[in-house]
Structure 1
């Protein structure tokens, strides 16, 4: 399928009236009769893994201030599975559900041989891990399906910059119309034979790369501000963090004040872009909360313990740091006189499901079904099973073994849900695998991909749901959420799991649980008022809502709802 030519945007007729009731606006306050001034700039801040639970527990003052002073969405939620980074960044800036974007979660079957390294194959093969993709793979899929991204609209009036320390997040977020994409490269700054120069750090450093990266970011010489140190484990070489530890300052800020990484690195780059470019859009990811939550168990993180405890790797520090960056961005927009002209969106790409994995590894939470292992990055063997085109993980956890024993698993991605791609996709083999999955620990239901929807093929295990709220959430959202993966490239079978359950690492994402789905979605700046949108706003609604607020007519259909924002 060839990429469609992108027509020029058109501007909506000024003064078009919109019924506030359609947006489910909070009662009280009349609609303003005066013509609205439409914003011309957009800033989207994605705080990776920021659940509402984390906002509350760690009292994120700047985030809460945005919620109070501007347009919050108290009933908002993520609205799709897989609830993972590589999916949601694309959903936010396309306005499409995963089943229409080209990939639905970290597993992917290339049914149309789209990828540059894909091979003609039988349907059971050609499987990939999408979080291993770079620019070429992500752009190839986006362009094949031909949908416009938010950058396609904004780049016509100014520079669009996408900044994310995560490579796959950066390119999924941006699309190829983003003028600037800034992410991290590999160890691209070796120690020079001539020795160090004053004012620079050297060694095995990780530095900026991407698309159109400006010289004020790359620097004149290797080792400038945007290069960060590698081989920095801090206190993450012990359980549970060792299953997915930090190894450098890409996702944590580090302790070198001249070369801070993580959220501060990303925010510094965004502020530099604001200073140097005639910009219309800045898409920013702050990854610190996500890394800490995966390592230490989200809201169950005990904080730094023992003599080797280091505060900067833990969730409380990450939440505070992310909150400070939100404040810096808002302060910058106000200081530059751009706040009333800029629509700011604060959100997350997923929440965080937490379990307890004690440091000694001898006893685990009964809802943790991965292998507790003490080798760095061994948690990937919990997340992934299969020999796929771009990697191989063939050491499954014990809980997955009955499924693996069928010799029919092409790939299985296991986090706070289980998504499985079969080699033989016949009805009989799907039923065989579904029956096995239904008896795996803490599985609440198994769902079969039937093309345009998922069919539940097992009884609902309400007995595994410990609260009335969990059962209500399942009844209201389970079918809707798994259906967002109903595509030929999506999984053949999905197993939903009970609350506070993972098959992977101490804190995770991916499933239908409230902790994974209940995220903030806040619209700020642009002269917006403090009345909330009470409708169930989802991530897929962000892009159409932005376009409506800016008076831009979409050039292609979207799955999301365009909500009017109260002034």
Structure 2
């Protein structure tokens, strides 16, 4: 038995995960009593949500992620599914997945935010949302008034959220209650090594962190800081790995990144037994590698001083193995039959093509932040070194005092702008300047609950399939940001264009939008949903599968999951 367990925990093939998913069949279905006709299977009582950050369908295919592919084959896949909103960024989607709320109704829409009602400070203040922790997210979530998935589940058991990335954790978990735990990374101890040197660490922090996650020196739950591997060079230097928050690391006793997150999930399962009802986990390794090395354009072995640990091939293989480990743990514990598993991503990854990267490069670690942001946000340092491509907008607008009218801009695979003077004339002035920025396909102006396109579409900057996607989806996707706290203007960009780092997120591109959405475990069948399932549909679909009546209307659609029919 021990030998079989060791073999299964090293799940690396599609066939092995197929065995895991097949474990959702009951003994009756596998040849039990029968004779009394079909009856509906019991509803799931538990939920596991696995978010593999930046995992586009293209990445799954390119890197042959066999465990993910097996779930897509043997669970309920959504071949026509897509993200369904902008900004297609972590800080938005994690909250969408566990609330069923569109960004225009959930409190913030992308990595920039205008505090219209003064929930965080003086009314009108401009903020960067990826700096938000519980103290900032909770007031926005509570003001919007929607419940999180954890609010429905904590009546029947404890709910745990695990993510090395803080704002991802708080989006998935919600504000928290006495029966919820949120486990992420914070600054940890400086520990003395046997040779007298010292090492700085990150440690578990969050909300109601269980005591079994020790923060003492030597604990498995610490992750090393001050490690940069091969990422202190272009292009990774724009957003380098500086510790093991997102990278696994070389110490097998204190691995970080996706392995740390999965180990934490398995620890929760072991310690809590049957006492949990929900586990939400975010695996950020693919996202970090894609940002640093340009996603599917990662040079891999051609990188000077190449360390495979920071690159896409290693990151995708690692994330894939963690999916297998979680599924195997559910089967080994006998809980898979009662657990609905959701596998998805927070966004895909746009890879900048030659001549279509419009960020600046300086020999400084984290210079990419100056490409992502322009302005003086209330919760960060000033970002006043805009890339050359953005200068016509920054220098061409005037707030009436001789200063730029751009209060905040956020640029990735789309351009998002919050203006100081929001008068019609000033918005039109900025829109005209944005139309002429490199590779812009259209400019959109916020108008109530939607955006109006105010420039012609530059079809000449798109290819065939991209044109069809734009025609079908651009308006729908941009409109999901149409809130008074959202950007005043949005400029869309082609498939292979970024203004920030070589691999990025944010826009309407197919590479950002076409992400896996898979339902497995419990009594799900292998029959696919043919509808265009979106991230906002995940929450209502989970509630429908569990037989839970929502206490508030959601923006998403509750799809009925195909199920196996059990027999008496």
Q: TM-score, normalised by structure 1?
A: 0.89
Per-residue deviation, 1:203: 2.0
1:503 corresponding residue in structure 2:
499
Partner Cα distance (2:286, 2:46) in 1? 27
1:323 matched to 2:312: no
Identify the residue that residue 139 of structure 1 maps to in structure 2: 138
2:357 is aligned, of 358, 361, 368, to 368
Match of 1:380 among 348, 369, 372: 369
Counterparts of 1:513 and 1:67, CA distance in 2:
22
Which residue of 1 is the match for residue 171 of structure 2? 172
Shift of 1:307: 5.4
Residue number in structure 2 paired with 1:393? 383
Q: Which residue of 2 aligns with 1:190?
A: 190
Secondary structure at 1:516 match in 2: helix
Q: Which residue does the alignment assign to 2:554? A: 558
1:468-492 CA-partner distances (Å, limit 9, x unpaired): 1100000000000000000000000
In 1, Cα distance between equivalents of 2:194 and 2:204: 19
After superposition, residues 70-149 of structure 1 pair within 5 angstroms as 70-115=75-120, 118-120=121-123, 123=124, 126-149=125-148
Q: Partner of 1:536 in structure 2?
A: 532
2:278 matched to 1:311? no
For residues 37-68 of structure 1, the C-alpha deviation after alignment (integer angstroms, 9 at most, x for no partner) is: 10000000000000000000000000000001
Q: Structure 1 residue 33: deviation in Å?
A: 4.9
Any conservation in 2 of the 1:189–1:202 contact (CA below 8 Å)? Answer: no
Q: Could you say which residue in structure 2 is the equivalent of 1:436?
A: 433
Residue matched to 1:290: 287
- 2:48 is paired with a residue of what secondary structure? strand
For residues 194 and 209 of structure 2, what CA distance do their matches in structure 1 show? Answer: 23
Report the counterpart of residue 427 of structure 1 in structure 2. Answer: 424
Q: Which residue matches 1:252?
A: 247
Query: Partners of 1:209 and 1:549 in 2: how far apart?
Result: 32
Q: Does 1:487 align with 2:477?
A: no
Task: Give the count of matched residue pairs.
Answer: 515
Structure 2 unmatched runs, 5+: 1-36, 398-403, 564-568
> CA 1:241–1:307 in 2, change beyond 3 Å: closer, same or farther?
closer
Please, which moves more after superposition, 71-80 or 390-399?
390-399
2:279 match: secondary structure: strand
* Pairwise CA distance, 1:390: 1.1
SS at structure 1 position matched to 2:39:
coil
Asked if structure 1 preserves the Cα contact closer than 8 Å seen for 2:107 and 2:144, the reply is: yes
Give the equivalent residue in structure 2 for 1:21. none
Partner of residue 220, structure 2: 225
Equivalence for 2:414: 417
Write the deviation string for residues 88-115 of structure 1: whole angstroms up to 9, x where unpaired. 0000000010000000000000000111
Q: Please state how far the C-alpha of 1:72 moved relative to its aligned partner.
A: 0.2
Taking a change above 3 Å as real, the CA distance of residues 307 and 476 of structure 1, as seen in their structure-2 partners, is closer
Contact 1:204 1:229 in 2 (8 A): yes
Q: Separation in 1 of the partners of 2:497 and 2:303?
A: 27
Contact in 2 for aligned 1:447/1:455 (Cα 8 Å):
yes
Which residue in the other structure is 2:401 paired with? none
Contact persistence 2:176–2:207 (CA under 8 A): no
Q: Does 1:334 align with 2:331?
A: yes
Closer, same or farther in 2 for the Cα pair 1:292/1:230, shift >3 Å? same
* Secondary structure of 1:206's aligned partner: strand
1:70 and 1:306, CA in 2 relative to 1: closer, same or farther beyond 3 A? closer
SS, match of residue 85 in structure 2: coil
Deviations 1:437-477 (A, max 9, x none): 01111100000001111000000000000x21100000000
1:156 aligns with 2:155: yes
Pick aligned residue for 1:243 from 238, 241, 250: 238
Contact 2:193–2:199 under 8 Å retained in 1: no
Per-residue deviation at 1:201? 10
Match of 1:346 among 343, 364, 368: 343
The 2-side partners of 1:414 and 1:433 are apart by 15
Gaps of 5+ in 1: 1-31, 357-364
Corresponding residue number in structure 1 for 2:59: 54
Q: Deviations over 1:110-162 (max 9, x none)?
A: 000111xx124xx4xx0000001111001111011111000000011000000
Tell me the residue number matched to 1:402: 392
C-alpha change, 1:541 and 1:201, in structure 2 (3 Å) is farther
* C-alpha distance in structure 2 between counterparts of 1:471 and 1:384, whole Å: 28
Q: Distance in 1 between matches of 2:214 and 2:470?
A: 48
2:199 is equivalent to residue 203 of structure 1: yes
**Which residue is 2:22 aligned to?**
none
Give the Cα separation in 2 of the matches to 1:387 and 1:307. Answer: 36
The answer (yes or no) to whether the contact 1:205–1:223 under 8 Å persists in 2 is no
Q: Does the Cα contact within 8 Å between 2:352 and 2:498 map onto a contact in 1?
A: yes
Match of 1:548 in 2: 544
Q: What is the distance in 2 between the residues matched to 1:355 and 1:292?
A: 14
- TM-score under structure 2 normalisation? 0.89
**Alpha-carbon deviation of 1:196?**
4.8
